[in-house]
Amino acid sequence: MKTLLNHINGKWVAAKSGASRDILNPANNRVIAKATDSGAADAEDAITAARKAFDHGPWGKSTGPERAEKLLALANLVEKHADEFAKIDTENNGKPLREANYDAADAVGCFRYYAGLASKPQGQTYSVSDPNMVCMTVREPIGVCAQIIPWNYPLLMAVWKLAPGLAAGNACILKPSEMTPVSAVKLFELIEKAGFPPGAANLVLGPGDPVGSTLAASDRVDKVAFTGGGVTGRKIMTAATGNLKKVTLELGGKSPNIVFADADFESALEFAMFGIFAGQGEVCSAGSRLLLERKIAKKFLPRLADACRKIVVGDGLAKKTEMGPLVSRAHMEKVLGYIESGLDEGAKLLCGGKRITKGALARGNFVEPTVFVDVPPEAKIMKEEIFGPVLVVELFDTEEEAIAKANDTVYGLAGAVFTSDGAKAQRVIKQLRAGITWINTYHPTFNEAPWGGYKQSGIGRELGTYGLEAYTEVKQININLAPGRVNWFKNL
């Protein structure tokens, strides 16, 4: 079996230790690849390569149009291999193929979007108090950027980081999750083909500690961009204090999906399910708390339970599959542990709640689509991000109560409201403390619009123009149109 390698300074290299790890398919826990398992020395090599590319190589001096051309070439290559990428992510992450197909298409769009931005006007000019002064700003790359990503969208998270990072002219070092490196390796084959110079983009495979932690702590790294859990986010922020590198964090959520009685019933029902069961609930913006107006609960909940029991759970490669396995045995155990704790703390199961072990599914990490009702407000399942197919339902009677419950969380990533009353929808969204919100829909995400969270869901924004700005420094330039002495010092 071929071993997946690091890509450092334009070359495929194995970890210095020679260690490797098995990469599994979560649908059956079979080994699908071996990946080189890097250590701190490999991360240091990647930093050296990126430093060289940025400080001395052609990449550090590249122009926007040059970068746009390469990113467009890369977008075209990814598009050509889109089916392959989708299959890789389904086999490595578990998500149904139809979802992985969307991810591949989004990845192409993201490269194209940032290719477009790379050559567009940036910076501003200012009218200042001195008429002889031209004051303006330009945006410049930050330098060497470490980019650490999770396992839930292996290709798309890599692209959300690399596309703006490279478009802005930084030298990037990507560290994928140690569980899902396969599509990142494929992406780097195409980065090489697209003609990026050595060291502009580097790939290091291996565990969070020491690979990610070395990147986050290094004084030679100028920025760390991280997507993952809050515990790791805090470690990264702490590690980054040494040289006060720039930090952006995209973290978790416990996002509310508010359904009013006047909502389109069938649509609200489907989006309540889609919000939580898309991506097996392993989605940072998942609608994991359903806030339901009490007067429709009697009609809504039995329909929800019935529809959830009919969700086709299976291998993501099977055409009929609507929900795949969880990414790993350990993560499945964690999710089942949350379900157990919900029952212990007095919540009532509306449906699901068990691991699925029927036939071939016994080999994989499958959990039933699960819905809890009558959840005590302080229960762990109400407060913590489960990151699996587990929905908690809360009932409310008034608009004020819905808003208060929606905001009763340390997170603030996403949220939605379903109602046919336009003014009510706007009133509620205005009061939601969350970075990404939807009215009468759940989950649509656009490369053109900013992504990120309030409160403990993160720092900064990705995507859109905000995503590019997060990879730039702003330089103020003042030009004196009347050069000459100012006579501050008389005895000159």
Residue 267 vs 328, nearer CB to ligand NAD: 328
| Catalytic option among 110, 145, 172, 284 | 284
Residue 123 vs 229, nearer CB to ligand NAD: 229
| CA–CA separation, 107 and 26 (whole Å) | 23
Residues 6+ apart with CB under 8 A from 478: 133, 134, 135
250 is catalytic: yes
CB of 149 to ligand NAD, least distance (A): 6
325 contacts 364 by C-beta, under 8 angstroms: yes
Q: How many CB atoms lie within 10 A of CB 91?
A: 26
Residue 216 vs 390, nearer CB to ligand NAD: 216
CB of 327 to ligand NAD, least distance (A): 8
Q: Pairing between strand 201-203 and 223-227?
A: unpaired
**Residue whose beta carbon is closest to ligand NAD:** 208
| CA–CA separation, 45 and 406 (whole Å) | 46
Residue 70 vs 289, nearer CB to ligand NAD: 289
CB of 261 to ligand NAD, least distance (A): 30
Look at phi and psi of residue 263 and say left if phi exceeds 0, alpha if psi is from -120 to 50, else beta. Answer: beta
| CA–CA separation, 315 and 376 (whole Å) | 34
Q: Output the six-digit token pair for 87.
A: 């299959």
Write the DSSP symbol of residue 462: B
CB of 37 to ligand NAD, least distance (A): 12
169 contacts 63 by C-beta, under 8 angstroms: no
447 contacts 111 by C-beta, under 8 angstroms: no
| Catalytic option among 91, 178, 250, 462 | 250
Residue 14 vs 40, nearer CB to ligand NAD: 40
Nearest 10 degrees: Cα torsion 146, 215, 142, 197: -60
In terms of Cβ atoms closer than 10 Å to its own Cβ (0-12, 13-18, 19+), residue 377 is exposed
Write the DSSP symbol of residue 278: G
Residues that bind ligand NAD (CB under 6 A): 148-152, 175, 177-178, 207-209, 212-213, 216, 227-229, 232, 235-236, 250-252, 284, 385, 387, 413, 458
410 contacts 260 by C-beta, under 8 angstroms: no
Residue 142 vs 149, nearer CB to ligand NAD: 149
CB of 434 to ligand NAD, least distance (A): 12
User: Of 154, 176, 169, 231, nearest to 37 (Cα)?
Assistant: 176
CB of 210 to ligand NAD, least distance (A): 8
As annotated, the active-site residues are 250, 284
